Amino acid sequence: MLNRIQVNCILYGQNGLQRVNFDEHIERVCPKTIFSCRSVDIKCLWTGQREQLDQQLTTCYFEPMRLVITELMVEIEQLKQKLGFEINSFENCV
């Protein structure tokens, strides 16, 4: 019964949503929901509304460089691990 209550989306101003459908509205439909760029995993810091996401994806500087950035991130992680190992070895010798 509670799921049939009508609610409003305060982000978009849409009225008359059934409570049962509200989460789906926010996750899949609402143009005002805040998203991160899909390149967030390679350090793109853009966040914006769903209605701006398509434009961001066409202008994102990170996505075309994904392969290079990913390789560099892996190399950096390997160097950090190697440096950590060498620091530990040095500390054990002292």
User: CB of 30 within 8 A of CB of 9?
Assistant: yes
Gyration radius (Cα) of the chain, Å = 22
Distance CA 33, CA 51 (A): 8
Domain residue spans of the chain = 1-31, 33-94
pLDDT range class, residue 70, cuts 50, 70, 90: very high
Using the 8-state DSSP alphabet, how is residue 28 labeled? I
pLDDT of 10 above 80? no
Q: Identify the helix (H) or strand (E) that includes residue 7.
A: strand 6-7
More confident residue, 14 or 80: 80
pLDDT range class, residue 94, cuts 50, 70, 90: low
Q: Which two tokens stand for residue 59?
A: 């202008």
Q: Among 28-32, 50-54, 79-83, which is the least confidently predicted range?
A: 28-32
